[in-house]
Amino acid sequence: MIIICDKCKTRFQLDISLIKKTLFKVRCSKCEHVFSVDTSPKEDVYELTPHNIAPDKKIIAICNQKGGVAKTSTCLNLGASLSLSGKRVLLIDFDVQANLSLLLGQKNQLSFYEVMKKEAEILKIVKSVRPNLWLLPANSKMSLLAKDCLQQKDFGFFLRNLLEPIKSHFDCILIDTPPSIKFFTPNALLAADFVIVPTQAEFLAMNGVMQTENIIKALAKTHLLDYRVLLTMYDEKNTASKVVFSKLKARYKDKMFNTIINFDFKMQESQIVNQPVIFYDEKSTSALQYKALAKEVEAV
């Protein structure tokens, strides 16, 4: 578990599996302060209630119609990093593939589909996955959403309308989207106030960024959205990647995050054990980079 020194606020990872007591004292290795740690289960860690909305509240859609550019990995690890800084974070799996749900070990859960069919209440299907981190899962029935919503007049605002009554429960909401421009991505963009466009330093992925940029511009008449491009899975030893990276920087300038996510095998290992890389190996390159990204996102 994560413990935080009362005095200097340093965070530590503590393995409590060998400690028999639930209430004990520890000494901070940084400032020497002695403080109590209570590991007894606390209902309120996972409690979901409306609370004061943070002034920098954000609903962030993570989009690129190119597949496999780390949209889901970014949603998971950025969300987990933001939750570590005390923010109450909701991750939304808005993709029929349900990869985000799978990465968190949540298979065949109720989804937006059952909510739309009035078979489930939205707050009841939200899963608590860690302190400060919740998931709104996806399932394969969501492929029927687009067809069923088509008859509704506010088709594009399906997600936005559903989130309205629950958004005050969270400081930050991250929406993972599929590699397509149909139904899910426009709905996520219309629900969001900020967009992250992950891309690999590859020619075709760069094309996906431009197409996503075009959709954002097309929506701008009625719905203004700020966005940043995020370079993912970067391998600086690859010359072609370096060329595409410099093209991206020239085109997007300050619309690119300073943080870059490198290619890191730890990321793939972490997914096998259903853990965000920031918990699997907090010192790994990608863990440190996603934590840096969280700081940058908070500052935007």
Ligand X SMILES: Nc1ncnc2c1ncn2[C@@H]1O[C@H](COP(=O)(O)OP(=O)(O)OP(=O)(O)O)[C@@H](O)[C@H]1O
Instruction: Report the distance separating Cα 69 and Cα 254, nearest Å.
Output: 21
Shortest CB 120 distance to ligand X, Å: 24
Shortest CB 150 distance to Mg ion, Å: 24
CA 38 to chain centre: 29
Q: Is 72 in the site for Mg ion (CB under 5 A)?
A: yes
Which residue lies nearer to ligand X by CB, 149 or 230?
230
Q: Which residue is nearest to Mg ion (CB)?
A: 72
Rule CB under 5 A: choose which of 58, 71, 169, 291 binds Mg ion: 71
HSE-CB at 225 with a 13 A cutoff on CA atoms is: 29
Q: Which two tokens stand for residue 285?
A: 């390159």
Which residue lies nearer to Mg ion by CB, 71 or 160?
71
Which residue lies nearer to ligand X by CB, 95 or 114?
95
Coil vs helix vs strand at 49: coil
Shortest CB 235 distance to ligand X, Å: 9
- Residue 60's DSSP bridge partners are 174, 194
Which residue lies nearer to Mg ion by CB, 5 or 290?
290
Question: Which residue's entry shows tokens 């007049």?
Answer: 153
Shortest CB 74 distance to Mg ion, Å: 9
Rule CB under 5 A: choose which of 64, 65, 81, 99 binds Mg ion: 99
Shortest CB 188 distance to Mg ion, Å: 12
Amino acid at site 293:
L
Q: Which two tokens stand for residue 168?
A: 């005050």
Q: Rule CB under 6 A: which residues touch ligand X?
A: 67-73, 95, 97, 99, 178-179, 232-233, 261, 263-264, 267-268, 271, 286
Selection from 177, 205, 187, 200 nearest residue 98 by Cα: 177
Which residue lies nearer to ligand X by CB, 5 or 267?
267
Residue 76 near residue 102, CB atoms below 8 Å = no
User: 62 contacts which partner out of ligand X, Mg ion, none, CB within 5 to 8 A by kind?
Assistant: none
Instruction: Report the distance separating Cα 225 and Cα 233, nearest Å.
Output: 25
b/e 243-256 (16+ beta carbons within 10 angstroms → b): ebbeebeeebeeeb
**Residue ranges binding Mg ion (CB under 5 A):** 71-72, 99
